[in-house]
Amino acid sequence: MSTDEPGPDAYTARSSRVVNARKLQRRRGRDKAERFLAEGPQAVREAISAGVVTDLFYDLDADTRHSDLIDAAVAAGAHVHPCTDEGLAALAETVTPQGLVAVCRFLDQRLPEDPKLVAVLHGITDPGNAGTVLRAADAAGADCVVFGTDSVDPYNGKCVRSSAGSLFHLPVVRAADTADLLDVFAHAQILAAAAGGDDLYALDAAGDLDAPTVWLFGSEAHGLDEATAALAHRRVGVPIWGRAESLNLAVAAGVCLYASAAAQRRKLEWAHVLRSPRIYPARRVRAGRLADHSSPAGCGRAARLF
């Protein structure tokens, strides 16, 4: 049994284990230790299932409410530490702590071979948006999510919470350079979510969304920079039929990912319908802009995604 009992008293905010774990609230501390924090029963449950929990801190109330998770953590070989309310509050990053904070190992993730659907986040600095995109990608059945150039750390506490456990479900890769990363997906179509792009649903109707696809998403405030958007085969916008001025990044990303996922599944279900395969030529980032593809006429104005 790996339970660490701190004597008659629970750990406080000044206990050395709590002080050391608190360093993981900053990216420098996370990268140095190759550990991060997962807060709340949902995240802790998924982290335990993924086998990455090394330590679990809990308040005395959680000892009763979440005894199953504490037992599961012990069974998985984690050290568990009862804390005072003050001690747990020092580790929690929410206004109302949920009683559980786990220390987790970095997830050793690699890009999957021949992925069908990938989301690439470029310059997305808002951890809430990034985590929600990750959650949408997981729900849509994506094969991978890449945090590219200048994007938030996927192990940021708010990003982990916003992912609602999805961080532990699919490969999440940190890439130093988005452009170089795209070379890995040599035979997938690269679609940039951008204002003024081709109508998403017109492309779907034309059968242009069922191929292996890498979606590029930029920041909500500024979208994709011109150089990165130019790396895509197409720029695609979500049509707005109502009076909204724009769509939230995470909402737009969810719409795009689900459109691709649905098209790819229809293709599998209708495999008896013969169609010549589309081949997307290998591309080199430094070789200049790819040839522009023609697109069907849109039906509605393209959304300002960000």
Backbone angles phi, psi at 142, to 5 degrees: -65, 155
CATH class of 16-105: alpha beta
Q: Rounded to an integer, what distance in angstroms lies between the CA atom of residue 22 and that of residue 24? A: 5
Residues in the chain, overall count: 306
Where in the chain are all domains bearing CATH 3.40.1280.10? Answer: 117-302
Q: Rounded to an integer, what distance in angstroms lies between the CA atom of residue 162 and that of residue 127? A: 8
Q: Rounded to an integer, what distance in angstroms lies between the CA atom of residue 266 and that of residue 264? A: 5
Q: Rounded to an integer, what distance in angstroms lies between the CA atom of residue 250 and that of residue 247? A: 8
Give the pLDDT score at 222: 86
> Which strand (E) or helix (H) includes residue 56?
strand 53-59
Partner residues linked to 48 by β-bridges: none
Token pair listed for 141: 């059945």
Token pair listed for 206: 């034309």
Three-state SS at 240? strand
Domain 117-302 has CATH 3.40.1280.10: yes
Tens digit of pLDDT per residue, the chain (306 long)?
Answer: 344 444 457 899 999 999 999 999 999 999 999 999 999 999 999 999 999 999 999 998 898 899 999 999 999 999 999 999 999 999 999 988 899 999 999 997 888 889 999 999 999 999 999 999 999 999 999 999 999 999 999 999 999 999 999 999 999 999 889 999 998 898 899 999 998 899 999 999 999 999 999 999 999 888 899 999 999 999 999 999 999 888 899 999 999 999 999 999 998 765 555 556 566 665 554 444 434 433 444 444 444 443
Give the pLDDT score at 71: 97
Where in the chain are all domains bearing CATH 3.30.1330.30? Answer: 16-105
Q: Rounded to an integer, what distance in angstroms lies between the CA atom of residue 94 and that of residue 91? A: 9
Whether the model pTM is above 0.95: no
Give the pLDDT score at 306: 39
Residue with tokens 């008896």: 272
Give the pLDDT score at 281: 65
